[in-house]
Structure 1
Amino acid sequence: MSVLKHRSIAGITLPDSTIAQQATELLLEHGTEFIYNHSLRVFLFSSLNGQRRGLKYDAELLYVSAVFHDLGLVPHYSSPDKRFEVDGANAARDFLKGHGLAPASLQLVWDSIALHTTIGIAEYKEPEVALLNAGVGLDVVGKGYEHLSAENREAIVSAFPRDNFKQKIIPTFFSGFAHKTDTTYGNIKADVCAFMIPGFKRKDFCDEILHSPWSE
């Protein structure tokens, strides 16, 4: 499970800067092989999407965003009370602060990770944010699958196998916030809780309105 043997896949060059290497080392140390392979596929899918659409983006920042986007699910980075996306975004920002990047770059990576599951908003932000969201969407639910050639798909999955992805990804998600299911209120991960917990009662926005302390 090492990215070092891969330099270019499906015509996309994997960043090999010090920042990229150190980010990868953290993913290998604290993540799982399943999350590692998913994260690298996401970077490649995101990059191919950007290439197809002619978007200008920072490949290194996109790579770091992809590497950290699910690290909020793992114990080392998981908080007791924040959304896993925020945990991953905070971890990436803390990591990048030690490399002297501009505040705008730190914020861009934070936004990319924090919003990567926020359907209907992420796609309208900066290219890095939109591309990470699209790459995740392609790998998880097949959004944009029709734009991926069979040759590129096979090259990417061969390098970073899906390994029974459909059956494993939902429990993997759940493991990252089973201890804080309230953080799924108002986002798609509430569906994961409903799938994994028999009789799960999710918070309801209309109930929140009707039971607020206001008299009218």
Structure 2
Amino acid sequence: MRLHDFLPPHTAAARGARELVAQFHSSALSNHVHRSWLWAEAFALVEGRTGIDHELLYTAALLHDIGLAPEYDNHVLGYEEAGGFVGEALAAGAGWPATRRRRVNEVIVRHNWPSVDPDLDVEGYLLETATGLDVSGRRDEEIPVEFRREVLAAYPRLDLADEFGGSVRTQSERKPHSHARRLIDGGLIGKLAANPLERL
């Protein structure tokens, strides 16, 4: 498993997602969403998952935290819900049919669920699993260590722990009904600090 085994889709939606990330995310968050896509694809390979919509997975992975950007923040919705609608709008512009547009919304929202049943939503499962690895180090040993090192060299963590933790804490305070509060109450700040990827 090597970095060059996973190539971004050459589609309008993928390009649009990359452009939004470049415009609205910091370097740390940009690297986080790119790593999340790579971890998702790696888990799919390790687990032998088939039937994956790779363009959908890529687009959702890149946009899964776009709701943290001030320009896309929503005063009522959780950041994953706001981001889901950004993904849906981008997919509409790329010409996706309504059912597939709804899927990118679902995958982005479900990345913040405590768990996702792969039989319900394999792309949502892969993104939830991947972000669990990148945020808290969950299941890190299931991904080959050399691949982990290669991904981290290409997309370093920088100050992700401080920036992401602070953004989610702010969201949790402003939106106490949201998944952000569940994440903070569940020890997100400590999990970010203790993530073994920080020391790899």
Offset at 1:121? 3.7
Q: SS of 1:63's equivalent?
A: helix
Q: Please state how far the C-alpha of 1:179 moved relative to its aligned partner.
A: 6.2
Shift of 1:186: 8.9
TM-score scaled by structure 2?
Answer: 0.84
Give 1:171's aligned amino acid.
G
Residue matched to 1:96: 91
Which residue matches 2:129?
134
- Select the structure that is richer in helix: 2
TM superposition shift of 1:150: 1.4
**Cα distance, 1:124 vs structure 2:** 4.9
Kindly state the Cα deviation for residue 104 of structure 1 after the two structures are TM-superposed: 2.2
1:145 is matched with 140
Report matched runs for 1:58-97 at 5 Å. 58-97=53-92
Give the deviation of 1:79 after TM superposition. 0.8
Asked if structure 2 preserves the Cα contact closer than 8 Å seen for 1:88 and 1:113, the reply is yes
TM-score with structure 1 length normalisation? 0.78
Shift of 1:80: 0.7
**More displaced 10-residue stretch of structure 1: 40-49 or 144-153:** 144-153
Is it true that 1:52 corresponds to 2:46 in the alignment? Answer: yes
2:112 corresponds to: 117
Identity %: 24
Q: Which runs of 5+ in 2 are unaligned?
A: 190-200
* Number of the residue aligned with 1:198: none
Q: Does 1:24 align with 2:18?
A: yes
Q: Is the 8 A contact 1:93 1:106 kept in 2?
A: yes
Match of 1:33 in 2: 27
Shift of 1:15: 2.0
Shift of the alpha carbon at 1:192?
7.4
The alignment of Structure 1 onto Structure 2 pairs a total of residues equal to: 188
SS, match of residue 183 in structure 1:
coil
Cα gap change, 1:89 to 1:120, in 2 (>3 Å) = same
In structure 2, what is the Cα distance between the partners aligned to 1:137 and 1:184? 18
Distance 1:123 1:183, change over 3 A: farther
Whichever residue aligns with residue 115 of structure 1, its letter is R
CA gap of 1:77–1:167, structure 2 versus 1, over 3 A, is closer
Q: Give the CA RMSD over aligned residues.
A: 2.5
Does the 8 Å CA contact 2:66/2:72 hold for their aligned counterparts?
Answer: yes
Q: Distance in 1 between matches of 2:180 and 2:166?
A: 20
Q: Whose relative contact order is higher, 1 or 2, with alpha carbons under 8 Å and at least 6 apart?
A: 2
Q: Deviations over 1:1-41 (max 9, x none)?
A: xxxxxxx8252122232221121001111111111000000
Query: Which residue of 183, 190, 209 corresponds with 2:177?
Result: 183
Question: What amino acid is the match of 1:23?
Answer: A
Alignment gaps of 5+ in structure 1: 1-7, 196-216
Taking structure 1 as reference, are residues 183 and 59 closer, same or farther at Cα in structure 2, changes over 3 Å only? same
